[in-house]
Chain A
């Protein structure tokens, strides 16, 4: 199954390890309040409900590493989910294969547009993807024309795949997330493109100076994020078996929160895909834990926001401590 050697090679940094410990504590704590959380069913629910956000987190992690952001992903999920459902409703012969192909193509198209605007014209990614967030969601409104789709219009093979569970607790979608995470983690660590992403985010002017292919890397990162969002749209269908024009509306911030909580700093240059996935799991677990405590689901967004602010603050505290040490060192050397 999973190649242990490969896992070892990923060598999680201390940040990921501590996050993982926090995750275990959170899962354990939730389990204490609600024992069902620790059962196979509970784990399966957690993993199923995290799949979409986790896949998107894998998609935007490289972008955030490059000191950019992609806010259009949630709209892309919506467009992909609705369009895939629409195609399936009109072509009953379609199976899960066509679903993934269509979803990917839609994500690819959005990614190309974002990539050209951000990398080609060097426009700020925040504004560009804010714009495409609108445009893509608007497209969903226009093409859907208030038509919703339910389970009966979707291919059985797709829904079956969505129900598929390995070892009693690993849903198909999360298995895909794990595979994507491992491949991406290896890519980010062992290829030139991956390393360039860190360099570009760490020091953009220097990246230009040493002649890194900034345009190509940035462009491809947006394309990748787009494709992941397209596939996440299909995951969305597999989980909910229904879709309307507001599907996944406004969830881009939940993904950004997951990524930042997972240790990918918004200032670029550091963080890993593994961290981003753990971040997504952590957010979902904390949500689950608070629900178990009897906190109303309406507080979900508030908790997401608070978690994000705490994550940014923790990051800042670490950076300030670092700077202070440097200064102290400098003073020592001066004496």
Chain B
């Protein structure tokens, strides 16, 4: 039996490399029983890698991990569970057709004789739910459960497996305010039961409201580790940001012209409300905010992939009909989506086929595609964007992430859009290509295109944008000009909704 305050987990100088990239360069972490421990850091600071080592997905290259004084065995999810470490993901994958009790005990159903003892399973599940302070009916189906309640089921499952350490990866990202409160109650009851909770969150107000300890990570290393009483919001933000902005992104000053995109009171109640802004010719406007704050959904609504309930979108002064990507394309809007593998590209198709996808108007003679012109189109963009591939027909799946992203950009730039929307344009690509993508986006703006950029990377936002609109939980909470914007201000607005000084 563990007592409150016992040291459960100790990580010292943990390192992890992926090929040439260093993800963790020496991370320390101490977790005690009966404590809620927040893990903070910007994207790429190494939080996820650390969680993945603990959950058994990755094996650390260096450093030591001790669990209850013994060496912790990494590299197998099952081993992690056996050692009492459980992970709760942002979006749990339950069996929606099965009852909650069944989901808790799937694969380990209690038996009486040859048959499953449903009474016992149900009462056990009910007991666990009660312990967590959320009284769900163990007999009900998982289908129709909110994400918050699904997380509760996962936590109950973890408890039923006697987990002592519960890792939560951005558990609140997809939750509403009332759901967050409920999750906090659950976390408190876990704490009361002497479990250790490690959670990653970008919502700093929540972090300060619930955690006992805060560890801040930056660039793969631990920066600070403090009891919550010994630190404050400003300090934590400084520690997360840490460095001065390097001039990775040479910003060109463009002549800003007439309004191209005008969004008024755009509302889709499930994701965002009353969003209003405009983007002018030659201007780059950034939509900043946390993942799940409704940024991508706004972009999707503008492009017409999703419908919206009320409000309006107009382009060059004329209203744009809702819910029609075809119309949006005719009106010269381009959207480089968030997830290039699922949304941006046809992975098994050749590079040429991906690049030509939106340019058939110019490639067809009497309805038939002219392959020669398709090849020359591909070559043109290959050179313009210096995309690297051996053969035009190579499936894009074989390209590196950076070249894939350039292919998506090429496909849309080839349509010569008036409005270019880029959603997380540099996610998961190497530094050199990143700079190139930034150059391309800048160049598009200098050619007189209006650019709407969504990004979670603050340096990118600050380096590129003429104006920054910050969203939080589906609402616009701040609009900052290039001059007044700082990392601290954006983080403060995105995480607490308040404009700080």
A interface vs B, CB < 8 Å? 186, 189-192, 195-196, 198-199, 201-203, 205-207, 209-212, 269-270, 322, 325-327, 329-331, 333-335
Contact = CB atoms under 8 A, between A and B. Distances in A.
Q: Kindly list the 8 A-B residue pairs having the minimum CB-CB distance in the complex, ordered from nearest.
A: A269-B97, A190-B115, A202-B97, A202-B95, A333-B176, A331-B269, A206-B93, A270-B97
Contacts of A190: 114-116, 118
Given A210-B106, A327-B270, A331-B270, A269 B144 contact: no
Contact of B95 (A198, A322, A333): A198
Contact of A333 (B97, B107, B146): B146
A333 B179 contact: yes
Nearest to A194: B116
B102 interface: yes
Interface string B271-310: 0000000000000000000000000000000000000000
A245 B474 CA distance: 66
Contacts of B96: 202-203, 269
Contacts of B98: 195, 198-199, 202, 269
B78 A330 contact: no
B270 A195 contact: no
A206 B116 contact: no
A12 to B, nearest CB: 15
Nearest to B143: A322
Contacts of B391: none
B298 to A, nearest CB: 15
A50 B111 CA distance: 36
Contacts of A210: 106-107
Interface in B113-136: 114-116, 118
A210 B179 CA distance: 26
A182 B96 CA distance: 25
A195 B104 CA distance: 13
A269 B96 CA distance: 8
A212 B103 CA distance: 13
A322 B145 CA distance: 11
B270 A330 contact: yes
8 contacts: A190-B115, A190-B116, A205-B93, A269-B96, A322-B143, A327-B270, A331-B269, A334-B269
Contacts of A329: 146
Given A196-B107, A327-B270, A333-B178, 4 more contacts: A191-B114, A206-B94, A270-B97, A333-B179
Contacts, number: 73
B146 A334 contact: no
Contacts of A206: 93-95
A214 to B, nearest CB: 11
Contacts of B118: 190
Contacts of B146: 329-330, 333
B324 interface: no
A198 B109 CA distance: 14
B271 to A, nearest CB: 8
A203 B143 CA distance: 12
Nearest to B103: A199
Interface size classification for chain B: 20 to 34
Contact of B116 (A191, A209, A325): A191
A323 to B, nearest CB: 9
Interface of B: 78, 93-98, 102, 106-107, 109, 111, 114-116, 118, 143-144, 146, 176, 178-179, 269-270, 473-474
Given A333-B176, A333-B179, A199 B109 contact: no
A212 B98 CA distance: 15
Contact of B474 (A207, A326, A334): A334
A207 B102 CA distance: 13
A270 B96 CA distance: 10
B330 to A, nearest CB: 30
The residue in B98, B146, B473 that gathers the most chain A C-beta atoms within 10 A of its C-beta is B98
Contacts of A199: 95, 98, 102, 106
A327 B98 CA distance: 21
Nearest to A335: B269
Nearest to B96: A202
A275 to B, nearest CB: 14
A199 B176 CA distance: 29
B176 A322 contact: no
Nearest to B102: A195
Nearest to A325: B144
Nearest to B273: A334
B95 A203 contact: yes
Contacts of A209: 93
Contacts of A212: 106-107
A270 B141 CA distance: 11
Contact of A334 (B95, B114, B176): B176
Contacts of A195: 98, 102, 106, 109, 116
A8 to B, nearest CB: 14
A45 B77 CA distance: 57
A138 B114 CA distance: 42
Contacts of B143: 322
Nearest to B141: A270
Contacts of A192: 107, 109, 111, 116
The residue in B97, B102, B144, B473 that gathers the most chain A C-beta atoms within 10 A of its C-beta is B97
Nearest to B111: A192
Contacts of B269: 331, 334-335
Nearest to B145: A326
A211 B114 CA distance: 21
Contact of B93 (A189, A203, A334): A203
A57 to B, nearest CB: 19
A207 B116 CA distance: 19
Nearest to A271: B97
Given A330-B146, A334-B270, A203 B94 contact: yes
Contacts of B473: 334
Given A212-B107, A325-B144, A191 B95 contact: no
Contacts of A325: 144
A329 B144 CA distance: 9
Contacts of A270: 97
A269 B106 CA distance: 14
A189 B139 CA distance: 13
A190 B114 CA distance: 8
A211 B107 CA distance: 8
Contacts of A203: 93-96
A334 B294 CA distance: 12
A165 to B, nearest CB: 33
A333 B94 CA distance: 21
B474 to A, nearest CB: 7
Nearest to B105: A195
Contacts of A196: 107
A187 B96 CA distance: 21
B410 to A, nearest CB: 33
The residue in A190, A211, A270, A326 that gathers the most chain B C-beta atoms within 10 A of its C-beta is A190
